[in-house]
Structure 1
Amino acid sequence: MKISGAIVAGAALVLSLGTASAAAADRQAEPQQAPQQAPQQAQALATNFQLPFPCGQSWTGNSSASSAHQSYEIDFNRGGSANADLGDTVVAAASGTVSISSHQGSTNGFGNLVKIDHGSGWSTYYAHLDTRSVSVGQSVAQGQKIGTVGRTSKPGNNISAHLHYEVRQGTGYPSNIRRAVFNGVTFGYPNQTVTSRNCGGSSNPYTPTEVCGAGYNVIDSAALGSSGTAYLLYNSSNGNNCVTTIKHTSIGTATAVSAYLEVQGSTRKTDSGNFSYYAGPVYANAPGKCVKWGGKAGSATYDSPFEHCGS
């Protein structure tokens, strides 16, 4: 979904938690507790954390929907159905170094887990991921994509898609767990809808395939200077084309961007406005026909001829 300013377009921000399928014994045992940092230092770092989702998105968190949960654990969802969030982008809540990036197997209920160490004993956990985009030892920036929302867990543990998020300080478990702070404000336990202010990343967390959806593959692209790239994608299973323009500058800030798709003999379809990450997706069915496509970002524009006939 594209973000226009701080508004999520086209999605009802509805909590889809609380079902029996979401209950999971997602635990991560760790060694005994190490000495804590001074409260002032700990709080100073804690206030730097941001929501683990791209700038402007709104997500509802719940720390009590499952009997398996403790008060410090937050499950995040948006969308109106149990798996509406499957594949949505997850980003780093703060900069740090990846210390875990693996599927936990039968060890616990975390499934695909990324753990980021932030220094001073602080770490964040991102569990049940569908995909992981980072590896152990990698340095990540705040707002950098680290994976996608999923429903992975231990064998036999069927859950709906959500992000399980935790903040921990020190190495003890569970007494060292800290309540999450986003943009300097403690999360409103047991549940709250929060809008992400994770807007400092320099790279766009979205890919054209994420924008257009499963089954679409990039068949052409055009650089729009340094401001962005226009992409043409095709889905062979339904004969649909898709066009999106992905921004490369002013990430997280609403600026003018557009994408269009025109099937030969049909009216052009355009998505144009002030968006924070991308324009589109623009879809059209074009089996056996030529298409014209393009977009604009910043001052750069691309307009293709009629091409890709029959694809």
Structure 2
Amino acid sequence: MALRPIDNALPISPDNPRLKKHAKVSIQTQKRAPEVGLNDENKAPLPQPVDASVDYMASENLEPFEDPESNIQSLVEGLDSKDWVTVCGSLNFVRRFAIYHSGLLLPVLEKVMLVIVKAMKNPRSALCKTSIMAASDIFDALGEKLLDSSAFDQLLLQLLLKASQDKKFVCEEANKSLTALVNSIAPLPLLNQLHGFVNHGNLRVRAKAAVSISNSVSKMGSEEIGEFGLVSLLQMASDLLNDRLPEAREAARSIVFSVHNAFTENEKSNPRAAWQSFCETNLSTIQAQSMLKVLSSSSQ
């Protein structure tokens, strides 16, 4: 069954009365811009058609399918399309399935995740943003089930990269998606996925990873923090305190407070001395002093 364009991924056409006034400029632009394939992320972007051909529908405005079982095959076919508008439409199908019929996505989840990752790499902003919105709806619907996907690490990296870029409307959408991720997956398993990215060579990726880690740690109790590792979090925060970006340093301070609270929870006699000893045992002298300054500055 061929995939029908849906309301939030309408090709511009002079026959479409809703978009007629835009038809002339859109068609002329498309003639100047050859199709950009999904694998072109490492090439210099070509001039692109205007993004007016895609509407970005809010999740609450998407509707369920009347017959979702019969539409799942159309979804798979559309995701394989070479036409970017068709892929956008299919990604919006993914969003509708995620919100209303998430169980039907599970058998094709791996394929869906790979297409989302590939679309995020695409230089065409409309396709990239639509894929990020699809990721957010999948996070909300499936949560920790996504951790079983072999593409999850790739998806996480792409979100961190997109949240780090200069194109504002893509960057904002990626930040929303990272927030949805933190809110939909339990802190401990998500932390196990995120912690490696604080050593990424891209300082912006490090900062975005640090923020997501900080948000996850702030939701953890002392037992969960202890299960992940107080020392590991302490050393991670210590490294981030010296990062070049203020965003990473602020996230590090938040992690320090969480670790401190978890550590001193059962230290009734002299928690300050116990915390100082803990820092000096597991960090260099300079790093330990930095940790103590974080807490002392907050109490002033």
TM-score (structure 1 length as normaliser): 0.30
Q: Which has the higher strand share?
A: 1
Higher-RCO chain (CA-CA 8 Å, sequence separation at least 6):
1
TM-score by length of 2: 0.31
Q: Which has the higher helix share?
A: 2
